[in-house]
Homo-oligomer: A and B are copies of this chain.
């Protein structure tokens, strides 16, 4: 991929961020996904307008691209996003098997306008008992029985 094409696609993501934020859809974030030289999906933040805390630009774009291609793997795709992804969106990018990610603003820039992705990255990395979110483990053997049922399932589809 040459950087001129990268600039074009990333500008499309930044433009989406601006337009949809001004229109009141949500936070100032946009994303596009490119497959074989074509933009196959667009995403923009819609958390507050759709009451969906997972509707970040990248997650919206990933869902739309997978629907468009009719498969749960986005292998061969590049994600262009106006800002470095938060941990949710970065992990979604890995789960989607996206090849490559190009971004504009950084997590530090996002923190500067009140989206503290850096703090969330740090929280993810803490031992469970030190996190601000209380987490408790129980019923271990019952839960693991289901995993054993999956392990021996003959017709499972791995992902």
Contacts and interface: CB of A to CB of B under 8 A. Distances in A.
Nearest to A86: B91
Interface string A97-122: 11111111110011011100000110
Interface in A135-159: 135-140, 142-147, 149-151, 153, 155, 157-159
Interface residues on A, range: 35 or more
Contact of A105 (B125, B128, B143): B143
A134 B100 contact: yes
Given A14-B139, A87-B90, A99-B134, 9 more contacts: A53-B72, A84-B137, A88-B88, A93-B133, A100-B134, A101-B134, A104-B144, A114-B158, A124-B124
Interface of A: 3, 6-7, 10-11, 14, 17-18, 21-22, 24, 26-28, 47-48, 51-54, 56, 59, 62-63, 66-67, 69-74, 82-84, 86-88, 90-106, 109-110, 112-114, 120-121, 123-125, 128, 133-140, 142-147, 149-151, 153, 155, 157-159
